[in-house]
Structure 1
Amino acid sequence: MLELLRKIVQEVSAASNVEAALKLIVRRIQRGMNTEVCSIFLLDESTERFVLRATQGLNRKAVGRASLATSEGIVGLVAKRAEPINLEDAESHPAFCYLKDSGEERFHSFLGVPIIHHREVLGVLVVQQQECRRFDESEEAFLVTISAQLAAVIVHAEASGAMVESPESGHKAIDRRFEGVPGAPGVAIGQVVVVSPQANLDAVPNKRITDVDTEVAFFENALERVRSDIRRVSAKLSRRLRHDEQALFDVYLKMLEDNALAGEVVGRIRDGNWAQGALSSVISENAQQFAMMEDPYLRERASDVRDLGRRVLAYLQEGDGPRTIELPDNAILVADELSPAILGEVPQDKLAGLISVKGSGNSHAAILARSMGIPTIMGIVDLPYRHLHERQVILDGFAGRLYVDPSEELVSAYQDIVKEQQEVAAGLAQLKELPAVTTDGERVPLWVNTGLLADVERSLERGAEGIGLYRTEIPFMVRDFFPSEQEQLEIYRRQLEAFAPRPVTMRTLDIGGDKALPYFPIEEENPFLGWRGIRVTLDHPEIFLVQIRAMLRANEGLGNLRIMLPMVSSVQEVDEAKRMLERAITELREEGHQIDPPEVGVMIEVPAAVYQVKRFAKRVDFISVGSNDLAQYILAVDRNNPRVANLYMAYHPAVLRALEHIAREAQQESVQLSICGEMAADPGGAMLLMAMGYDVLSMNATNLPRVKSIIRSISMQQARELLETVLQMDDAEKIQQLISQTLKQLGLSRLSQPQLPD
């Protein structure tokens, strides 16, 4: 059964459209389970009926025509209960409803299981037999297993089928909508540009070409370079390999001949697809064919085919020249997984929006997007993005929705929202020079989180009073090797000079988790609980010392540097880091530099640190809470995983209690307390945090004016009354509703999410 399941999933994944996928499923299951009928009913949301979409055993003329209401028949009952129903004689069941013209009157036994994706019932998978019998437990378990495996595949196949047709074909899907996770608020209307990672066959988009001969020549040049590589390796190893092993290189070369893979690729190019897209589709299809073969030796040739494909693709992409991403005006950038490196490669003036197939609203890429003020959607796992290149879309970063080839009416509705948001932003700009002071006179300093040089100007324009978090890892991420001390010094000096005399809090290198360096890979089973943050830099003092030396030298003559240690979980880590800092100060003074010791602080990001605030306070000058990671660890929710993104709740009672505990402990020790997580950038979160007693709120520059407007519109007493009520509540959604209601009562609802088209 496991082998059958593997084959079905492989075949369906390679299917060209949803109809082909469904036919494969019913045929394979019917044969594999040795039943007389296998059928799939899928829900048509427009008619609220379960439609027979594929069958092996029933009348095929009924496909697409026969249907049942959602409350009708045993199929409807399976969907309603969201659990299997196993009957030895379906006709005797009170819910039985005969499906006209299907030919099912001959069949008695019935086993139906729901097809569920993200808690929604998509349809029902059914097997039937003439014999009156109950399907046994192993058969039922198999059908449940395969249903769970195929749900996501069916969704993706259906979405891909809808996207294959171009808008000009006359068959476009009006207002086709895909749901993701909000990454950064805002609306963008523009043209999609798909960015594929280097040598990743599965991420290459389809693009149309007109100069076929040039593209064929481009492909053949890459092909010849791969052939040369194989011949060179074969010659190099000729004395060390047996004759039969040497013959494997000949097999590789034959695969690249004109009457094999190469010929297929050229054919696709002549049909109008660019070389990379043609190569990707041919390699994918051939690898799938090998993978489905019975013979183990032939099955393993699938990996050879994909390896050859990656080698050719690498040369094709190298032929593009240095990595540059050309963008049209109002471009919507789509990537399998957004990274800081990608953001650093695109011209910001043309970038209107970002979409990441992987990741969640609290991933590092989403945080950067919010900092840059770019509307973003994360985690659209079912998006057939390879078919979206140059398509017109609406990106709704408030609700996490993407509309492909939208209607004029929908475009007009979203243009009104864009205009409204621009008007709100213009009104908030007038607050730049005004302090964040509550109506009863309490001042709340507002700082910013930065990482890119472009953040500096944006932050000062919005009235930032300091930097609460400068992410030093970003300059490391956009390079091919560790930056030198001098390179780091120049980067840090620009940040410090731009904000002087305002404080600039520089976090020491924080890699690991969702922040990887291409030249310093960290491969771990569970990276968020692994080697990251202060753990890496203490294990590599040569990296840590170079960085803090660069920071200290950059601070000469300015005196506004603060150094912050990330991911601390014990006082020993703090003590060791401070000893290394003192060593760097001593060395630099001996070298003739005028070094003043900076303020040193720690980030509270893990539950272990929550209960050591007083101990840390005796060793440092300030404490800052990283609420994003802290919430992740308290809730045991991977913030990069869109499957559990809805479980990540900043207003979860446990998270609020932890934040309130930290504030109380810090106040008792009279140490400055700030917060630099995304919660500080939320108007409701800001009200709760200032009521708890956080001295400084640090956020992305885009949200700073909104938070300032909130603070200037409420009294500290009102905020404390709201906090007192919230801390008695035990439901995150109800807390969110109360905060929204409070903003509305204060006449501040315009500062929260706008009214969106349904």
Structure 2
Amino acid sequence: MLTILRHIIQEVTSAQDFREALDIMVKRIANALATQACSIFLLDRHHGEYVLVATQGLNPQAVGKVRVPINKGLIGLVGEREEPLNIDDATKHPRFYRVPEIKEEAYRAFLGTPVIYHRQVLGVLIVQQEDPRRYDESEEAFLVTLATQLAAIIAHAEATGALAELLQSSKEKRHELIYSGVPGAPGIGMGVGVVVYAPYDLDTIPDREPDSVEAEIQLLEAAFSAVREDLRLLSERLYPALPPEERALFDVYQRILDSADMGKEVADAIRAGNWAPGALREVIQAHVRRLESLDNEYMRERAEDIKDLGQRVLTYLQKNDRTTPQYAEKTILIGESITPTDLAEVPEGYLAGVISAKGSGNSHVAILARAMRVPTVMGVGDTPIYELQDKEIIVDGYYGQIYVSPSPNLRTEFERLIQEEKKLDAALEEIRDLPAVTKDGQRIGLLVNTGLGADISISLAAGAEGVGLYRTEIPFLMRDRFPSGEEQRIIYRQLLASFAPRPVIIRTLDVGGDKPLPYFPIKEDNPFLGWRGIRITLDHPEIFLSQVRAMMRASEGLNNMRIMLPMITDATEVDEALRLLRKAYTEVRDEGYDVEMPQIGVMIEVPSAVYQARVLAKRVDFLSVGSNDLTQYILAVDRNNPRVANLYDALHPAVLRALIQVVENGHQEGKHVSICGEVAGDPVAVLLLLAMGFDSLSMNASSIGRVKWVIRHFTHKKAAKLLHEVLGMENAVMIRCHMELALERAGLGNLIRAGR
């Protein structure tokens, strides 16, 4: 074999060009292994597909034309696993993906190996044979060796531009264009592009001395009044299915427009010598600059809301009605920065999808889109959005991709996926009010993570059994000062009353790290290892006491509140916090409030808390794992850093063993143990968490239905078997593939994404 290997490499390296080198390789490999087919699929990262670039044995007319989605078929599985796949009958494998154009129906035996260079999967090299059989170890080793040689050739082609040229020539045969962004709301939407434009550019308004200050102020008041009325009508026009709490967003807009706040600022700028449009520009820009200067992504998103309001007021100041777009029956709404009011203006039943050049999954528009169940892609900054008017478009809210002018085959595929989604949604709706209980009777609680008032009705409609994490920092971040005790009490009371009698776990203020307060700046070289969470509030007991007193006052007559302490690293922090909590309780009782002492819990977010879990459990009523931070600290990976983001995975064996230890230690003290964070809402991970013994899971509302569906379709015994199997695996990729395969074999692959 070694001699044959050398001859193949010599012949390939002497090829005239990259395409010829690939053709030589597939022919020589097929001959060397005496197999009937050998093919190379290269990964087109921009489009998320494997492209057939060379073959011996499959349909030669399919070269350059056939593209396999990155998550499909045995090709996709080899790439996901990053290791060889050797099976005797490919057609019986649950991941078999039939592509009629390549005419591989006759082949049964399949051996595929990834082509990897510097940890990056570049493609997949496969061999096939008609008779069912497993290729032997020497054949597998031979193919793996050639794949390493092929990787170097592909890397060189990438550096010289030959790879891009090859993939581009394949792309030119396609009808559709594909662009990528950030998933905003899950689902698949198909329709016609309708681009919305801001009618005037507020930033270009010049300064001008007013002819009459009073006349300008009257014009301003009339404009503010007109916009308030517009917002009221838009709120009423929102879909009947959208609960009142989502319309509360428009109440926030109304408050911003209140003459005692922003209106007064603009009026003062007019009195200082600027006409109304110029004064409005001054005030709006000042607010926008302040918000955009913050490190917190959520607050930066609020700048877009302020801009939207400013544009609407400017429209009336210039006495010109806002132009209404011509909406298609299946509208894909597109804009530089889509706002909630843009969503509200689309006629009922017309909105099929949303594309925004700016924004993220934390945007108000993304939150509303999820509530309205409208597939959404955010942050498509490189997309020529103004060229998408009247184009046929597919929005994939799962992967954050948009397809422009799709081919008939692609359209047919997505239409099928939409039908599968509808069937799944109907099935999930049927179990909304049923418990999350396995086939053999094991029950687990499903709660929701929240931090916005707009999330409340979404959570209730999803069938949440309570709140596993309420992030109190969001009301703090939305202000330019610390909220008063009474302001906090009102917020907490609304939350507690909405969920009563369901339990609500409220986390004390957790700022620092990536969540600095604009009015309480914290400048540190390493904020994630610095002054954050409980460390700040214990150093400032006045902040802590004011907050927990407000929580306790809000719970009067409801008594469904629990308090959770974040970023605990040492038992002495818990002791000090408990002392302050008892002090606050005594003070609230002395004020005449008839409240019970709430249950107290701690978040397990750092390795030291994992090893002290039993010590901590002795002191409190419950433990809750914060999986996002715990994964980050165990793996020493900043999940916001794109250079190392691929190393961040909560299914890493070290993280799984830490979770098991926390559950065991908490239960040894007879305490409730829950987990919140992304892993709790991941259908791929839920069976492992169930088998570990977690008492409840807390997740985003949109994940509850899918997680419940998984739990109700498996037994606890099967979940325990899967946990035992993955604990013998060495990396997160293997574990994730193993769990995805388990879901697919159970017929639940569509919970990961429609069509799987």
TM-score (norm 1): 0.57
Q: Report if the CA contact (8 A) 2:447-2:464 is conserved.
A: yes
| Offset, 1:509 | 1.8
- Are the structure 2 counterparts of residues 391 and 567 from structure 1 closer, same or farther at C-alpha, using a change threshold of 3 Å? farther
SS at match of 1:618: helix
Identity of aligned residues (%): 48
Amino acid across the alignment from 2:744: K
Rounded to whole Å, the distance in 1 between the matches of 2:417 and 2:529 is 41
Rounded to whole Å, the distance in 1 between the matches of 2:365 and 2:653 is 27
| Offset, 1:687 | 0.6
Residue number in structure 2 paired with 1:697: 697
- Are the structure 2 counterparts of residues 372 and 592 from structure 1 closer, same or farther at C-alpha, using a change threshold of 3 Å? farther
SS at match of 2:468: strand
Q: Find out whether 1:124 has 2:163 as its counterpart.
A: no
Residue number in structure 2 paired with 1:249: none
Q: Report if the CA contact (8 A) 2:357-2:383 is conserved.
A: no
Rounded to whole Å, the distance in 2 between the matches of 1:680 and 1:662 is 15
| Offset, 1:689 | 0.5
Residue number in structure 2 paired with 1:621: 621
| Offset, 1:421 | 1.2
SS at match of 2:674: strand
Residue from 303, 307, 311 that aligns with 1:320: 311
SS at match of 1:320: helix
After superposition, the CA RMSD in angstroms is: 4.9
Q: Find out whether 1:383 has 2:374 as its counterpart.
A: no
Q: Find out whether 1:543 has 2:536 as its counterpart.
A: no
SS at match of 2:449: strand
- Are the structure 2 counterparts of residues 621 and 332 from structure 1 closer, same or farther at C-alpha, using a change threshold of 3 Å? farther
- Are the structure 2 counterparts of residues 373 and 733 from structure 1 closer, same or farther at C-alpha, using a change threshold of 3 Å? farther
Rounded to whole Å, the distance in 2 between the matches of 1:224 and 1:590 is 58
| Offset, 1:423 | 2.1
Rounded to whole Å, the distance in 1 between the matches of 2:623 and 2:198 is 54
Q: Report if the CA contact (8 A) 1:190-1:332 is conserved.
A: no
SS at match of 2:684: helix
SS at match of 1:513: coil
SS at match of 1:464: coil
Show CA shifts across 1:586-613 (max 9, x none).
2212211112110010111122211110
Residue number in structure 1 paired with 2:512: 512
Residue number in structure 2 paired with 1:657: 657
Query: Which runs of 5 or more residues in structure 2 are unaligned?
Result: 1-43, 55-115, 119-151, 210-280, 286-303, 316-321
- Are the structure 2 counterparts of residues 347 and 718 from structure 1 closer, same or farther at C-alpha, using a change threshold of 3 Å? same
Residue number in structure 2 paired with 1:719: 719
Amino acid across the alignment from 2:160: V
Residue number in structure 1 paired with 2:177: 176
Rounded to whole Å, the distance in 2 between the matches of 1:427 and 1:507 is 34
Rounded to whole Å, the distance in 2 between the matches of 1:364 and 1:531 is 29
| Offset, 1:412 | 5.4
Amino acid across the alignment from 2:500: A
Residue number in structure 2 paired with 1:186: 187
| Offset, 1:540 | 3.0
- Are the structure 2 counterparts of residues 520 and 121 from structure 1 closer, same or farther at C-alpha, using a change threshold of 3 Å? farther
What are the within-5 Å matches in structure 2 for residues 148-167 of structure 1?
Answer: none
SS at match of 1:403: strand
Amino acid across the alignment from 2:709: S
- Are the structure 2 counterparts of residues 432 and 386 from structure 1 closer, same or farther at C-alpha, using a change threshold of 3 Å? closer
Rounded to whole Å, the distance in 2 between the matches of 1:532 and 1:560 is 27
Q: Report if the CA contact (8 A) 1:514-1:640 is conserved.
A: no
| Offset, 1:426 | 1.2
Rounded to whole Å, the distance in 1 between the matches of 2:608 and 2:434 is 39
Residue number in structure 1 paired with 2:492: 492
Show CA shifts across 1:532-557 (max 9, x none).
22223223333322221111111001
Q: Find out whether 1:670 has 2:652 as its counterpart.
A: no
Q: Report if the CA contact (8 A) 1:192-1:333 is conserved.
A: yes
- Are the structure 2 counterparts of residues 656 and 388 from structure 1 closer, same or farther at C-alpha, using a change threshold of 3 Å? farther
Amino acid across the alignment from 1:124: T
Rounded to whole Å, the distance in 2 between the matches of 1:362 and 1:495 is 20
What are the within-5 Å matches in structure 2 for residues 46-85 of structure 1?
Answer: none
Rounded to whole Å, the distance in 2 between the matches of 1:316 and 1:44 is 32
| Offset, 1:719 | 0.7
Rounded to whole Å, the distance in 2 between the matches of 1:557 and 1:667 is 30
TM-score (norm 2): 0.57
What are the within-5 Å matches in structure 2 for residues 287-306 of structure 1?
Answer: none
Aligned length, in residue pairs: 505
Q: Report if the CA contact (8 A) 1:568-1:602 is conserved.
A: yes
- Are the structure 2 counterparts of residues 517 and 315 from structure 1 closer, same or farther at C-alpha, using a change threshold of 3 Å? closer
What are the within-5 Å matches in structure 2 for residues 23-38 of structure 1?
Answer: none
Q: Report if the CA contact (8 A) 1:193-1:327 is conserved.
A: no
Rounded to whole Å, the distance in 1 between the matches of 2:342 and 2:719 is 42
- Are the structure 2 counterparts of residues 540 and 633 from structure 1 closer, same or farther at C-alpha, using a change threshold of 3 Å? same
Amino acid across the alignment from 1:176: L
Amino acid across the alignment from 1:504: V
Q: Find out whether 1:611 has 2:602 as its counterpart.
A: no
Rounded to whole Å, the distance in 2 between the matches of 1:607 and 1:48 is 47
Q: Report if the CA contact (8 A) 2:653-2:729 is conserved.
A: yes
Rounded to whole Å, the distance in 2 between the matches of 1:326 and 1:621 is 57
Residue number in structure 1 paired with 2:532: 532
Amino acid across the alignment from 2:507: R
SS at match of 2:713: coil
Residue number in structure 1 paired with 2:269: none
Show CA shifts across 1:559-581 (max 9, x none).
11001111221222222222222
SS at match of 2:160: strand
| Offset, 1:666 | 1.4
| Offset, 1:335 | 7.8
| Offset, 1:618 | 1.3
Amino acid across the alignment from 1:383: D
Residue number in structure 1 paired with 2:683: 683
Amino acid across the alignment from 1:633: Y
- Are the structure 2 counterparts of residues 518 and 383 from structure 1 closer, same or farther at C-alpha, using a change threshold of 3 Å? farther
Residue number in structure 2 paired with 1:260: none
- Are the structure 2 counterparts of residues 540 and 713 from structure 1 closer, same or farther at C-alpha, using a change threshold of 3 Å? same
What are the within-5 Å matches in structure 2 for residues 458-607 of structure 1?
Answer: 458-607=458-607
- Are the structure 2 counterparts of residues 420 and 590 from structure 1 closer, same or farther at C-alpha, using a change threshold of 3 Å? same
Rounded to whole Å, the distance in 2 between the matches of 1:47 and 1:715 is 41
Show CA shifts across 1:209-236 (max 9, x none).
7xxxx87xx77742558xxxxxxxxxxx
- Are the structure 2 counterparts of residues 656 and 400 from structure 1 closer, same or farther at C-alpha, using a change threshold of 3 Å? farther
Residue number in structure 2 paired with 1:104: none
Residue number in structure 1 paired with 2:258: none
What are the within-5 Å matches in structure 2 for residues 329-348 of structure 1?
Answer: none
SS at match of 1:593: coil
Amino acid across the alignment from 1:593: Y
Amino acid across the alignment from 2:206: A
| Offset, 1:663 | 1.4
- Are the structure 2 counterparts of residues 641 and 371 from structure 1 closer, same or farther at C-alpha, using a change threshold of 3 Å? farther
SS at match of 1:531: coil
- Are the structure 2 counterparts of residues 567 and 343 from structure 1 closer, same or farther at C-alpha, using a change threshold of 3 Å? farther
Residue number in structure 1 paired with 2:31: none
Q: Find out whether 1:439 has 2:430 as its counterpart.
A: no
SS at match of 2:728: coil
- Are the structure 2 counterparts of residues 534 and 315 from structure 1 closer, same or farther at C-alpha, using a change threshold of 3 Å? closer
Amino acid across the alignment from 1:511: V
Q: Report if the CA contact (8 A) 1:563-1:601 is conserved.
A: yes
SS at match of 2:564: strand
Q: Report if the CA contact (8 A) 2:190-2:352 is conserved.
A: no
| Offset, 1:190 | 6.6
Rounded to whole Å, the distance in 2 between the matches of 1:607 and 1:400 is 33
Show CA shifts across 1:344-378 (max 9, x none).
9975997955768798x999999998798665657
Q: Report if the CA contact (8 A) 2:481-2:519 is conserved.
A: yes
- Are the structure 2 counterparts of residues 388 and 675 from structure 1 closer, same or farther at C-alpha, using a change threshold of 3 Å? farther
Rounded to whole Å, the distance in 1 between the matches of 2:207 and 2:747 is 65
Q: Report if the CA contact (8 A) 1:371-1:449 is conserved.
A: no
Q: Report if the CA contact (8 A) 2:503-2:562 is conserved.
A: yes
Rounded to whole Å, the distance in 2 between the matches of 1:480 and 1:581 is 27
Q: Report if the CA contact (8 A) 2:462-2:701 is conserved.
A: yes
| Offset, 1:468 | 0.8
Q: Report if the CA contact (8 A) 1:175-1:407 is conserved.
A: yes
Q: Report if the CA contact (8 A) 2:437-2:443 is conserved.
A: yes
| Offset, 1:192 | 8.2
